[in-house]
Amino acid sequence: MATDAQQACFEAGIKFGSLYHQFAGTPVSPSSARSLEVAMAESIENQPFCESVTVTIHDDRVADAIDHENGYTELTGSLMDVEMRVELEGVTVHTQMTMTDGYPLMELVSVDGA
């Protein structure tokens, strides 16, 4: 049987996988980035035990990735940072996804109350 801390970490991983794979490939431009951030956060916050999600899509990275005349690119992990907080049975898990050595790394920041 998993501990509450292990289950909370598992839940965080599930939510990150859902966020990334649900939205990777979504068309994005600097003008649509704010609404996409909100849609991503609110979508994942619907899931059990998810207390908060913050998505930051970097306009400069998006603009640099646009390589055709249509004015958008596909969303990838390299264009955004994400922070998430999951709470389960008194355990709070803080996670983040940031670019690390050119890779969008999802990681545990802290596990409190374990």
Q: How far is CA 80 from the centre of its chain?
A: 8
CATH of 4-112, one of 3.30.1300.20, 1.10.3720.10, 3.40.50.11900, 3.40.50.150: 3.30.1300.20
- Supply the pLDDT for residue 1: 87
* Domain boundaries along the sequence of the chain: 4-112
Residues 61, 53: Cα–Cα separation, whole Å? 21
For residue range 19-45, list pLDDT tens digits in order: 999 999 999 999 999 999 999 999 999
Q: What is the pTM of this model?
A: 0.92
Flag whether pLDDT at 114 surpasses 80.
no
Residues with Cβ within 8 Å of 18's Cβ and at least 6 positions away in sequence, in order, are 44, 47
Residue 2 confidence (pLDDT) = 87
Candidates 114, 45, 33; CA nearest to 74 is 33
Q: Is 36 within 8 Å of 28 (Cβ atoms)?
A: yes
